[in-house]
């Protein structure tokens, strides 16, 4: 039996903030070609490798990407504000390497040696699928350790948005596969899901 760790709420929030930085950078770059502003990334922020505006978005897909990007940016700002209000210091954006991370994921999941989620709308949906499931899981795991009920309530609200995103991404992914009569990217998402289950 392991003893539960006594982790301060601000440490949990900074963990969540790192996840939100990752998601915000992913969606902002996919939707606009640019990531977080230096003000949002905070002083001492790490670099971001990879990521670009996704070519071939339909008008609807572009709107979805912009909507989720704005939600993730709002999460970054909300968590930073909550940490500061809770007498803490928000961490700056860490180094992010989309290129090597997605290549390693593709290899581990049996997709192939490389994968670029910014190369097409279908590839973008697979990348988004990964992030949304990680987000929902992270908030679920962290919730029991949060002691401040106001912070817990805010985290539950963010988790609900992440779950909404996860459902939206799955619907778009399956719909695009049906429209194109091509299950390739749905299969990729299932391979990533199976890998996550093993881990």
Q: What is the DSSP annotation of 96-110?
A: EEHHHHHHHHHHHHT
pTM: 0.85
pLDDT above 60 for 2: no
| Angstrom distance (rounded) from CA 119 to CA 54 | 6
Q: Which pLDDT tens digit goes with each residue over 4-50?
A: 556 789 999 999 999 999 999 999 999 999 999 999 999 999 999 99
List, for residues 42-96, the tens digit of each pLDDT value: 999 999 999 999 999 999 999 999 999 999 999 999 999 999 999 999 999 999 9
d(CA 144, CA 47): 32
pLDDT tens, position by position, 131-177: 777 777 777 778 888 888 888 888 887 888 877 777 888 888 888 88
Residue 124's CB is within 10 A of a number of other CB atoms, namely 28
Query: Got the DSSP string for 1-34?
Result: -PPPP---HHHHHHHHHHHHHHHHHHHHHHHHS-
């Amino acid at each position: 039996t392991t003893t539960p760790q006594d982790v301060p709420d601000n440490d949990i929030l900074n963990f969540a903030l790192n996840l939100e930085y990752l998601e915000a950078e992913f969606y902002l770059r996919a939707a606009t070609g640019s990531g977080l502003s230096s003000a949002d990334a905070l002083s001492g922020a790490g670099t971001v490798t990879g990521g670009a505006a996704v070519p071939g978005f339909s008008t609807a897909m572009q709107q979805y990407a912009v909507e989720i990007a704005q939600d993730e940016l709002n999460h970054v700002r909300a968590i930073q504000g909550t940490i500061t209000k809770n007498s803490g210091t928000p961490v700056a954006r860490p180094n992010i390497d989309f290129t090597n991370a997605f290549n390693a994921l593709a290899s581990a999941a049996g997709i192939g040696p490389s994968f670029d989620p910014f190369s097409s709308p279908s590839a973008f949906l697979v990348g988004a699928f990964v992030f949304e499931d990680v987000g929902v899981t992270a908030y679920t795991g962290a919730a029991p350790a949060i002691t401040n009920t106001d912070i817990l309530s805010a985290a539950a609200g963010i988790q609900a948005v992440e779950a909404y995103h996860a459902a939206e991404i799955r619907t778009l992914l399956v719909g695009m596969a049906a429209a194109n009569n091509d299950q390739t990217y749905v299969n990729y998402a299932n391979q990533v899901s199976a890998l996550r289950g093993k881990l």
